[in-house]
């Protein structure tokens, strides 16, 4: 197992290198640059700007320069926010996104998996259809609809929360609910399907024959295998939730990392784009690793030891 984990951690290095290289060159091939605005900057000023950010050097030299900085863990200065470095921006905004993501995740897991179990316990009855209809709604309603709706009900009508902004702890609640709702819906459908797959397995029948009570079978046997698909979806889902969502953060005017993913690309803020992409890449690789480890515990068929199957 340790060997497996080490191997997977080492893979991060080539993955990051490929992602960084691709992103670097794709960004440079995109028309328009960081200093293009609707009031055109005079030639001589553009030259000064390019010299300041080393954009006047050949592309290969710029690439090497960036890779050199990257090796030292330096993501460089932001083009759009010149008084801040990319490291600072990520360090300042990621905790906000992570808090919202974590709250959203907990909410989505409890509600989603709960609804899935509830629905799967009596398939094709009202108990099944009702939560699954809501789940379908949750999947189809985009967050730019749900967000303002929550805002209207909980902030403006009931006045339980602030409309938007980031001044007190409870400001995380509405964004977390908005973010979590869509995932809760996915979790509900995935866990229901997974559990129903398990119900007809031989080992469940054996457990039933042994006379184990239904709830114990569910807890000890069915869930373990039934939630496998949910767990594999958790990898990318957790990475996406914790690194923030553009829509949710813009709607609730929350200072998270999510909005920089899109905005930095639109601004051609080369260093910030790279920083965000690399950060997300590391996150996804790590999350998938955790998921794979969880697999080994949940599914007896999976083993990562070389002397195993």
Partner 1 sequence: MGNFFKIFSVSLSFLLLWEADARSYTVAKQQLIKVGNATEPKDLDPATVTGTPESHILDNLFEGLMAYQPRTLDPIPGVAESWSVSADGKVYTFKLRKNARWSDGVEVTAQDFVYSWIRALSPKTASEYAYQLFYVKNGEAFNAGKIKDPTQVGIKALDKYTLQVSLENPTPFFVRLTSFHTYYPVPPHVVEKEGKEWTKEGKLVSNGPFKLKEWKLNRHIHLARNEHYWDKEAVMMNEVIFYPVENTDTEEKMFVAGDLHMTSTVPTLKVPFYQSKMKQNPNQYQIYKNVPNLAVYFYRFNVRKKPMDDPRVRRALALTVDRKLIVERVTRGGQLPAGSFTPTVAGYFYQGQHTLPVSVTPEAIAEAKKLLKDAGYEDPKTMPKIELLYNTNEAHKQIAIAIQQMWNKNLGVEVELFNQEWKVYLDSENKGNFNVSRAGWVGDYPDPNTFLDMFVTNGGNNKTGWSNKDYDKMIDMAAETLDQAKRFDYFQKAEDLLLTELPILPIYFYTQQKLISEDVRMLEEGKITEWYDNITDRLLYKYYVLVDVKK
Interaction site with partner 1 (CB under 8 A): 30-33, 35-45, 47-49, 51-52, 80-84, 89, 92-93, 148, 151-152, 155-156, 159, 162-167, 250-256, 259, 266-268
- Quote the least distance from Cβ 250 to partner 1, whole Å: 5
- Quote the least distance from Cβ 88 to partner 1, whole Å: 8
Residue (33 or 123) nearer to partner 1, CB = 33
Residue (2 or 37) nearer to partner 1, CB = 37
As given in the structure block, the two tokens for residue 8 are 């997977």
Q: Is the CB of residue 280 less than 8 Å from the CB of residue 296? A: no
Residue (201 or 253) nearer to partner 1, CB = 253
- Quote the least distance from Cβ 225 to partner 1, whole Å: 43
Q: HEC states along the chain?
A: CHHHHHHHHHHHHHHHHHHHHHHHHHHHHCCCCCCCCCCCCCHHHHHHHHHHCCCCCCHHHHHHHHHHHHHCCCCCECCCCCCCEHHHHHHHHHHHHHHHHHHHHHHHHHHHHHHHHHHHHCCCCHHHHHHHHHHHHHHHCCHHHHHHHHHHHHHHHCCCCCCCCCCCHHHHHHHHHHHHHHHHHHHHHHHHHHHHHHHCCHHHHHHHHCCCCHHHHHHHHHHHHHCHHHHHHHHHHHHHHHCCCHHHHHHCCCCCCHHHHHHHHHCCCHHHHHHHHHHHHHHHHHHHHHHHHHHHHHCCCCCCCCCCC
Residue (263 or 288) nearer to partner 1, CB = 263
- Quote the least distance from Cβ 267 to partner 1, whole Å: 8
Residue (181 or 264) nearer to partner 1, CB = 264
Residue (139 or 246) nearer to partner 1, CB = 246
- Quote the least distance from Cβ 44 to partner 1, whole Å: 4
- Quote the least distance from Cβ 270 to partner 1, whole Å: 12
Residue (15 or 246) nearer to partner 1, CB = 246
- Quote the least distance from Cβ 90 to partner 1, whole Å: 11
């Amino acid at each position: 197992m340790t060997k497996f984990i080490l191997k997977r951690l080492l893979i991060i290095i080539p993955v990051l290198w490929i992602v960084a290289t691709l992103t670097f060159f794709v960004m440079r091939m995109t028309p328009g640059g960081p200093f293009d605005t609707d009031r055109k900057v005079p030639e001589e000023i553009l030259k000064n700007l390019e010299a300041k950010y080393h954009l006047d050097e050949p592309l290969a030299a710029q690439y090497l320069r960036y890779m050199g900085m990257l090796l030292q863990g330096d993501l460089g200065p932001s083009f759009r926010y010149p008084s801040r470095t990319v490291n600072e921006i990520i360090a300042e905004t990621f905790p906000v996104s992570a808090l919202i993501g974590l709250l959203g995740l907990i909410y989505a897991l409890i509600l989603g998996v709960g609804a899935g179990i509830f629905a799967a316990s009596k398939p094709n009855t009202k108990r099944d259809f009702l939560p699954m209809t809501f789940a379908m709604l949750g999947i189809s309603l985009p967050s730019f609809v749900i967000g303002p709706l929550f805002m209207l009900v909980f902030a403006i009508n009931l006045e339980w929360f602030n409309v938007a902004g980031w001044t007190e702890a409870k400001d995380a609640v509405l964004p977390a609910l908005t973010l979590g709702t869509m995932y809760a819906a996915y979790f509900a459908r995935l866990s229901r399907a997974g559990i129903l797959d398990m119900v007809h397995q031989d080992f469940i029948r054996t457990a039933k024959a042994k006379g184990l009570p239904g709830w114990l079978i569910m807890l000890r046997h069915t869930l373990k295998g039934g939630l496998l698909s949910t767990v594999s979806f958790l990898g990318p889902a957790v990475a996406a939730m914790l690194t923030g969502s553009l829509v949710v953060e813009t709607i609730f005017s929350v200072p998270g990392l999510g909005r920089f993913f899109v905005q930095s690309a639109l601004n051609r803020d080369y260093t910030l784009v790279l920083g965000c992409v690399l950060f997300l890449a590391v996150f996804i690789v790590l999350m998938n690793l955790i998921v794979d480890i969880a697999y080994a515990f949940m599914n007896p068929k999976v083993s990562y030891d070389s002397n195993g199957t």
